[in-house]
Amino acid sequence: METQAAVDRFLSSPGLSEATRRAYRSDLRDFAGWLDDGGIALDAVDTRALAAYTAELGRARRGLAPATIARRLSAVRSLLRFTRGAEHVPEAALAPRRPRRLPDVPRLSEVEALVDGLDRDGPLGTRDRALVELVYSCGLRSAEAVALDLGDVDFDREVVHVRGKGGKERVVPLGEEAAALLALYLRDGRPQLARGACDALFLSARGNRLDTSVLRRLVRNPHRLRHGYATHLLEGGADLRTIQELLGHASLSTTQVYSHVDARRLRRVYDRSHPRS
């Protein structure tokens, strides 16, 4: 199997988001070059070959961080799964252990100040406040927020239909604050931005679907709002399994980065409730 042709087919698959496609393109170019240099066919990649590639990534002259090595191996496994089927993907744990970093979580007062500090005037101001509030209130990734269509918001049922990574869909509750700002935007803002038949919920000044760069200009790190969403729900009593479903995480292990919050909450419950606490 010609490696680069297989990589190109994989990168053109509709199941990948544009951000994932960009990240995988660089990672898989490196892997394809390593295979070519070693005269290894893609069909011949097994646990031993992946271990050798991992060792190469970890050599001092490369100096790659554990998180980078893990990401590259994830890209390679996705390629093999797409090309050869899941049963032919080596699943041995090869990536070096990464130091656990706790998410950077904004306080509720910081989120409120951020939304209140946005420009309120005109259709763009109305749009921006609705967008930022929705990202926080629903725990959306930036790409998920700008990918929303008009039909994805159900005001009657108070839910939002979200298309997440890998084409996976989920339904998340729509909070009152977000619903109010969205309704205001749809009434007073979006009609002034619309230029034609575009189903996108959030429109640019030219009437096109909004780009994630606009959100990054409004919020320096929009993903902190998603961290805040998960953390504030946990502090309010939600369990990790529910948070996993609301965030659209494929594995509970991804959600467990917030377990330190759950542990603090359980300690407070214990101190308040147990007779010998």
Give the residue from 30, 6, 4, 19 showing the smallest Cα distance to 166. 19
Annotated catalytic residue: which of 25, 223, 260, 265?
Answer: 223
Alpha-carbon span 255 to 103, nearest angstrom: 11
* Catalytic residue (one of 226, 227, 229, 232): 226
Mark whether 195 is an active-site residue.
no
Residue 84: how many other CB atoms lie within 10 Å: 15
Which residue in 165, 170, 209, 265 is the catalytic one?
Answer: 165
Task: Clarify whether 141 is annotated catalytic.
Answer: yes
Name the 3-class secondary structure at 160. Answer: strand
Q: Is 232 a catalytic residue?
A: no
- Residue 81 among the catalytic residues: no
Active site residue 249: yes
Q: Catalytic residue among 72, 127, 129, 141, which?
A: 141
User: Among residues 53, 185, 229, 258, which one is catalytic?
Assistant: 258
- For the chain, where are the E strands, in sequence order? 153-154, 159-163, 169-173
Q: Report the candidate in 277, 109, 131, 141 with the shortest Cα–Cα distance to residue 210.
A: 131
* Residue reference for tokens 């070519």: 36
Q: Active-site residue 272, yes or no?
A: no
Task: Just list the catalytic residues.
Answer: 141, 165, 223, 226, 249, 258
